[in-house]
Chains A and B, each alone.
Chain A
Amino acid sequence: MSHAAGHGAEMAEAPRAEEELHHHPGPRTYVWIAVILSIITALEVAIYYIPSLSGLLVPFLLAFSAVKFVLVVGYFMHLKFDSPLFKRLFVTGLVLAAIVFFIVLATFFFGAEHPGLTG
């Protein structure tokens, strides 16, 4: 009986222990991520000065910026390896920030008949 109860307690603890165990990358991975981030930053600055790429500058810059963002959040902040709840909390903030952006944008573009509002 007591053995069964003890086994049950172990089973109940198992998910928590699983949550506690975070598999974070090692220093070598962190250095590689930093190298990739440096190369992307150099590419961002380089394409800024290439006139023939001016038409594609904005999509390239946004893509590079997104890759850097994901690498830092995923590896340095360990969001790739931690509980999905942290990811949900952070993404909620990002989505709300995007909503704020579109509301402000809409205020400026559709509120043209109210110059006092949009300056």
Chain B
Amino acid sequence: MASHATADVGHDYTTTGLNHTKVAMWTFLGSDCLLFGAMISTYLLYRTRTAAGPTPHEIYDIPYTSVSSFVLLMSSLTMVLALAAIQRGDNRGSRVWLLATAFLGMTFIGGQIYEFTTFVEEGLTMSTSPFGSAFFMLTGFHGAHVTVGILMLLSLVGLSLSGKLNQEDSLKVEMIGLYWHFVDIVWIIIFTVVYLIPTE
């Protein structure tokens, strides 16, 4: 396996010897597991309660969602390549990969907006059934997380263009990268549990 060493030089450290921003980010991600854990639990319990509205089997478009999932997975690759680029001092390369990540994120969000619009036209809204409420709450919260991630990525691109994001600031890219990958792993679970596992 090809490997290279990177050092968090010039950053603040806690008494554990670890960077406190990174400790805080992992603590936040651990706590965010609870938010999504609660919403996935709620979805699993309510997915058969469709009232008079459409059922998951009737409404989901698996090939379409598979493409969206692939797009989000690839955005994790571009994100980690942006981090690798800035850690080796390649600011331009880092900018390109950050923009690619933001673009893939926007593609995913565009797909989700189209999916939501289609579902509403087919009769599934937040108030149609417990299934509808749980579905829109879960995927909507995930979409909000992706949107926040896109804004942070574009902020990094802005910092880079103004010369305020260099090799010694790689921790900023790493932190936003951790958030972005977390959003990706949540979607890995949602894609399997919500879309692929059959109701019956």
Q: List residues of chain A with CB under 8 Å of any chain B CB.
A: 15-16, 19-31, 33-34, 37-38, 41, 44-45, 48, 54, 57-58, 61-62, 64-65, 68-69, 72-73, 75-77, 82-83, 85-86, 89-94, 96-98, 100-101, 104-105, 108, 119
Q: Select one of B18, B87, B178 contacting A83, CB under 8 A.
A: B18
| Residues A119 and B49 in contact, CB atoms below 8 Å apart | yes
Main secondary structure of the interface of B (DSSP, over half): helix
Known contacts A24-B4, A65-B188, A97-B33; A31/B77 CB under 8 A: yes
CB–CB B45/A105 < 8 A:
yes
Question: How far, in whole Å, are A55 and B82 apart by their CA atoms in the complex?
Answer: 42
- Could you say which residues of chain A place their CB within 8 Å of the CB of B87? 24
Q: Which of B2, B177, B192 is A25 in contact with, Cβ under 8 Å?
A: B2
Most chain-A CB neighbours within 10 Å: which of B30, B70, B191?
A: B30
| A15 pairs with B17, CB closer than 8 A | yes
Q: Which of A77, A83, A92 has a CB less than 8 Å from the CB of B181?
A: A77
Contact between A29 and B2, CB atoms less than 8 A apart:
yes
Q: How far is the CB of A92 from chain B (nearest CB, A)?
A: 5
Which of chain A's residues has its CB closest to B178's CB?
A77
In the complex, how many angstroms separate the beta carbon of A62 from the nearest chain B beta carbon? 7
Known contacts A61-B196, A62-B192, A101-B37; A21/B80 CB under 8 A = no
**B26 and A97 contacting across the interface, CB-CB below 8 Å:** no
Given contacts A24-B3, A90-B33, 20 further A-B contacts (CB under 8 A): A16-B13, A19-B18, A24-B87, A25-B2, A25-B3, A30-B77, A30-B84, A31-B77, A45-B66, A72-B76, A77-B178, A82-B22, A85-B16, A86-B18, A89-B29, A90-B26, A92-B30, A93-B32, A101-B40, A104-B42
